[in-house]
Amino acid sequence: MMDMAGSLNRHRRTLLVLSTVAAFAILGSTMAKNPALPLLAQSIGAGDAQIGLISAISPIPGILVSSFAGAYSDRKGRAKVLTMSLLIFATAPFLYLFVTEPWQLMGVRFYHGFATAIFMPVAMAAVADMYGPEMRGQKLALYSSATMVGRFIAPFMGGTMLYLANFSSVYLTCAVTGIIALVLSFAIPWEHDRPQSKRQGADRGSLTILREVVHDWRIMVTSAMEGVQYYAMGAFEAFLPIYSSSLGFNGFEIGVIMGIQVVSMLALKPVMGTLSDRRGREPSIFAGLLLGAIAIAGMPMVSNFYGLCFLSAIFGVCVATATASTSALVSEVAGRSSHGSAIGVLSSVMDIGHSAGPLATGLIVAALSFEAGFLVASVLMVVGAIVFASTVWTDSRRRRDNAGSQ
């Protein structure tokens, strides 16, 4: 009994310190892009299509390495992989200070993208390791809410700095938060940080584990829903600031509009995680996608400050509803020895969507209009919700019915 209590206390301390590290790391990485990035790109001569490309660059490292980072951490342990990512968080912001051309900004964003590409799946796998299905959704959501604190502060702080000072002040602050995250990471009380595969007595290589995860269609469909959600998120992050600027709003007002979305995510995600533990993961994913489609379609039809704040908040609620369940669902389908691989695959697919969103939306906005760009994102979310309901959710209900009849 005392061993169990001691283990729970260690888990709480680990979750607390890891969440604090994540909050500082994500604060800096979010401030680097929201709302500063599209405005910085515009200031050095980038057009709409180039702004979309610049915004699309940073998720590409996630497509390339998130799956492998997760699988590698399954085999070798979480701590050393997280330290590699935190070194990037601490160094990348200094490079923005020397950018004068759009192609240079693309290169900096590509390097910076490796930080979250490695950190997020491995940190989430570390949280999933510590808790069973009855608490996993809640704890993953609590961890995610800590990152939301960073995301919440970032647009307000970044927007205020742009209004009162300049781009250099924004990126120097990003560097400071990255350094703080790196230093704090050495206080994480890892419990022997043994590889998950060895804990299970398995002797499979990282590629073998990853191949097994990729071949599970339930993981891949759920990951695709994360990708669709982040396609819309990428469009929102890259082009709502530009749309708002075209309406005459200043940097502080744009920061508020973007920050409201994060506030709603921060407030609702733990609630949605707990609800998914009790009521199931699938309904939350379906509802989040469907309602989010309505919110994002309406954004370019609104031209007043309070209306955009309202739709931004609703979109944040919908993102929280869907994403509170996706990581928990894929980790449970994959099993304990493959948490890193499953969440890594989820992150890679998420980054495909996050990269495609601003890139495709930039091309559509340049060729047609803001309305057309956001409408495409909305339609993809509706189609995704229908596909998810007819495949994964239907299969889960069938499995539960079969288990109940035995």
pLDDT category, 404, cuts 50, 70, 90? low
Domains annotated for the chain, with CATH where assigned, are: 8-186+207-395 (1.20.1250.20)
Nearest by Cα to 154 from 93, 65, 228, 79:
93
pLDDT of residue 215: 79
The token duo for 321 is 């509803």
Q: Which residue has the higher pLDDT, 8 or 118?
A: 118
Rounded Cα distance, 392 and 389, in Å? 6
pLDDT confidence band for 1 (50 / 70 / 90): very low
- For residue 34, what pLDDT band results from cuts at 50, 70 and 90? confident
Mind listing the pLDDT tens digit for each residue in 281-308?
889 899 999 999 999 999 999 889 999 9
pLDDT recorded at residue 63: 81
Render pLDDT for 220-278 as a digit per residue (tens, 0 to 9). Answer: 999 999 999 999 998 998 888 888 888 888 878 887 888 888 788 878 888 888 888 88
Q: 340, 74 in Cβ contact below 8 A?
A: yes
Neighbours of 81 (CB within 10 A): 22
Does 400 have pLDDT greater than 80? Answer: no
For residue 201, with 0-12 CB atoms within 10 Å meaning exposed, 13-18 middle and 19 or more buried, which class applies?
exposed
pTM greater than 0.85 (yes/no): no
Tell me the HSE value of 119 on the side-chain side, using a 13 A CA sphere.
30
Q: How confident is the model at residue 329 (pLDDT cuts 50, 70, 90)?
A: confident
Residues 47-60: tens digit of each pLDDT: 877 887 887 788 78
pLDDT digits (tens, 9 = 90+) for 79-94: 999 999 999 999 999 9
